[in-house]
A and B are shown apart, each in its own frame.
Chain A
Amino acid sequence: MAAETSRAPTAFDAVYERQLDRTVRLAYLLVRSQAVAEELAQEAFLRLYEHFDAVYNPPAFLRTTVVRLAITWQRRHRMEQHRLTVVGGDRHTGAEPELDEAWAALGRLTAERRNVLVLRYYADLAYESIGELLGCSAATARSRARRALADLREELER
Chain B
Amino acid sequence: MSPAPDMTDPQVADLVVRTLATKSRDASVPAEPFDPTRRTSFSDVDAGGPELMATEPDATPSRARGHRRVRWIVPLAAAAVALVVVAAGVAVAGRDDRDTTRTERHPVAEQPTDTPDGALLPGWMPEGLVPWGGSWSRPPMWSPESPLQLFKGDGDAVLMIELKPDNFVSSGGDPVTVRGVEGGVVPPPGDIPDAPGMLHWREGDTGGSIDVTYANMSVDEVVAFLDGLTWRGPDRQDGFVPPTSGDLRLAGDVGPPTSAALTTDYLFGDPASPPRTQHEGRYIWFQAQSARGRQDAMSYFMSLLRDGELPAADGDPDMQIDPDTAVVSWPDGRTVMIRSRGVSQADLRRVVDSFAPATGQDLDRLAAAKGARLAALPLVAQASLPSATVELRDGGGLDRAACVHLPGREPACGWLGFMPDVEGEDLGVEDASVLIDGTWYALAVGTVPVSLTSEDPLNPTTLPLANETATDGPYSFALALPADEMQHVALYRDGSLSYYLSRPESDYPGG
Task: Say whether A79 faces chain B, with CB atoms less than 8 Å apart.
Answer: no
Partner of B263, one of A6, A52, A57, A61: A6
Task: Say whether B139 faces chain A, with CB atoms less than 8 Å apart.
Answer: yes
Contact with B along A68-99 (1 / 0, CB 8 A): 11001100000000000000000101011111
Task: Say whether B309 faces chain A, with CB atoms less than 8 Å apart.
Answer: no
Contact with B along A114-136 (1 / 0, CB 8 A): 00011001100110010011010
User: A interface, how many residues as a size bin?
Assistant: 35 or more
Contact with A along B356-379 (1 / 0, CB 8 A): 000000001001101100000000
A4 and B214 CA atoms in complex are apart in Å by 44
Partner of B16, one of A26, A34, A96, A152: A152
User: Number of A-B pairs whose CB atoms are under 8 Å?
Assistant: 294
**Listed residue (B7, B34, B265, B368) with the most chain A CB atoms within 10 angstroms of its CB:** B34
- The answer to whether A73 touches B47, judged by C-beta atoms less than 8 angstroms apart, is no
- The answer to whether A122 touches B68, judged by C-beta atoms less than 8 angstroms apart, is no
- The answer to whether B47 touches A69, judged by C-beta atoms less than 8 angstroms apart, is yes
B residues 17-61 in Cβ contact with A at 8 Å: 17-30, 33-36, 38-43, 45-48, 50-56, 58-61
- The answer to whether A4 touches B66, judged by C-beta atoms less than 8 angstroms apart, is no
- The answer to whether B504 touches A4, judged by C-beta atoms less than 8 angstroms apart, is yes
Q: Write the nearest CB–CB distance from A105 to chain B, whole angstroms.
A: 8
B residues 273-302 in Cβ contact with A at 8 Å: 295, 298-299, 302
A89 and B5 CA atoms in complex are apart in Å by 24
- The answer to whether A37 touches B55, judged by C-beta atoms less than 8 angstroms apart, is no
Residue of B nearest to A117 (CB): B16
Residue of B nearest to A151 (CB): B12
Instruction: Specify which chain B residues have a CB less than 8 angstroms from the CB of A121 in the assembled complex.
Output: 13, 16-17, 20
- The answer to whether B43 touches A46, judged by C-beta atoms less than 8 angstroms apart, is yes
A16 and B68 CA atoms in complex are apart in Å by 8
- The answer to whether A43 touches B34, judged by C-beta atoms less than 8 angstroms apart, is no
- The answer to whether B16 touches A102, judged by C-beta atoms less than 8 angstroms apart, is yes
Instruction: Specify which chain B residues have a CB less than 8 angstroms from the CB of A43 in the assembled complex.
Output: 40, 42-43, 45
Q: Write the nearest CB–CB distance from B454 to chain A, whole angstroms.
A: 16
A residues 4-48 in Cβ contact with B at 8 Å: 4-18, 20-21, 24-29, 34, 37-47
A4 and B50 CA atoms in complex are apart in Å by 40
Task: Say whether B106 faces chain A, with CB atoms less than 8 Å apart.
Answer: no
A150 and B23 CA atoms in complex are apart in Å by 21
Instruction: Specify which chain B residues have a CB less than 8 angstroms from the CB of A10 in the assembled complex.
Output: 68, 72, 139-140, 142
Instruction: Specify which chain A residues have a CB less than 8 angstroms from the CB of B143 in the assembled complex.
Output: 52-53
Instruction: Specify which chain A residues have a CB less than 8 angstroms from the CB of B415 in the assembled complex.
Output: 4
Q: Write the nearest CB–CB distance from A156 to chain B, whole angstroms.
A: 5
Contacts A106-B16, A125-B58; A4 near B434 (Cβ below 8 A)? yes
A151 and B22 CA atoms in complex are apart in Å by 21
- The answer to whether B140 touches A93, judged by C-beta atoms less than 8 angstroms apart, is no
Q: Write the nearest CB–CB distance from B69 to chain A, whole angstroms.
A: 6
**Listed residue (B45, B364, B499) with the most chain A CB atoms within 10 angstroms of its CB:** B45
- The answer to whether A21 touches B36, judged by C-beta atoms less than 8 angstroms apart, is no
- The answer to whether B502 touches A5, judged by C-beta atoms less than 8 angstroms apart, is yes
Task: Say whether B501 faces chain A, with CB atoms less than 8 Å apart.
Answer: yes
Task: Say whether B2 faces chain A, with CB atoms less than 8 Å apart.
Answer: yes
Partner of A4, one of B140, B299, B433: B433
A69 and B414 CA atoms in complex are apart in Å by 43
- The answer to whether B23 touches A99, judged by C-beta atoms less than 8 angstroms apart, is yes
Task: Say whether B62 faces chain A, with CB atoms less than 8 Å apart.
Answer: yes
Residue of A nearest to B265 (CB): A6
- The answer to whether B5 touches A13, judged by C-beta atoms less than 8 angstroms apart, is no
A10 and B136 CA atoms in complex are apart in Å by 13
- The answer to whether B191 touches A135, judged by C-beta atoms less than 8 angstroms apart, is yes
Q: Write the nearest CB–CB distance from B291 to chain A, whole angstroms.
A: 13
- The answer to whether B502 touches A4, judged by C-beta atoms less than 8 angstroms apart, is no
Instruction: Specify which chain B residues have a CB less than 8 angstroms from the CB of A65 in the assembled complex.
Output: 47, 50-51
**Listed residue (B20, B60, B70, B434) with the most chain A CB atoms within 10 angstroms of its CB:** B20
Contacts A29-B24, A55-B52, A91-B26; A72 near B47 (Cβ below 8 A)? yes
A74 and B223 CA atoms in complex are apart in Å by 36
A8 and B21 CA atoms in complex are apart in Å by 35
Task: Say whether B95 faces chain A, with CB atoms less than 8 Å apart.
Answer: no
Instruction: Specify which chain A residues have a CB less than 8 angstroms from the CB of B62 in the assembled complex.
Output: 56-58
Q: Write the nearest CB–CB distance from B360 to chain A, whole angstroms.
A: 11
Task: Say whether B506 faces chain A, with CB atoms less than 8 Å apart.
Answer: yes
Task: Say whether B412 faces chain A, with CB atoms less than 8 Å apart.
Answer: yes
A86 and B430 CA atoms in complex are apart in Å by 46
Q: Write the nearest CB–CB distance from B351 to chain A, whole angstroms.
A: 21
Task: Say whether B9 faces chain A, with CB atoms less than 8 Å apart.
Answer: yes
A126 and B59 CA atoms in complex are apart in Å by 11
A68 and B50 CA atoms in complex are apart in Å by 9
Partner of A102, one of B19, B136, B504: B19
Sample 21 A-B pairs with CB under 8 A, ordered by A number.
Answer: A2-B367, A4-B413, A4-B414, A4-B432, A4-B433, A8-B502, A9-B67, A9-B265, A13-B72, A24-B27, A25-B25, A29-B23, A43-B42, A55-B52, A57-B62, A61-B50, A68-B50, A103-B19, A121-B17, A122-B17, A135-B191
4 more contacts with CB within 8 A, not counting A47-B47, A121-B16, are: A8-B502, A9-B68, A18-B67, A64-B54
CB-based closest 5 A-B pairs? A6-B137, A2-B412, A60-B54, A57-B54, A28-B27
Q: Which residues of A contact B (CB under 8 A)?
A: 1-18, 20-21, 24-29, 34, 37-47, 49-61, 63-65, 68-69, 72-73, 91, 93, 95-99, 101-103, 106, 117-118, 121-122, 125-126, 129, 132-133, 135, 146, 149-150, 152-153, 156-157
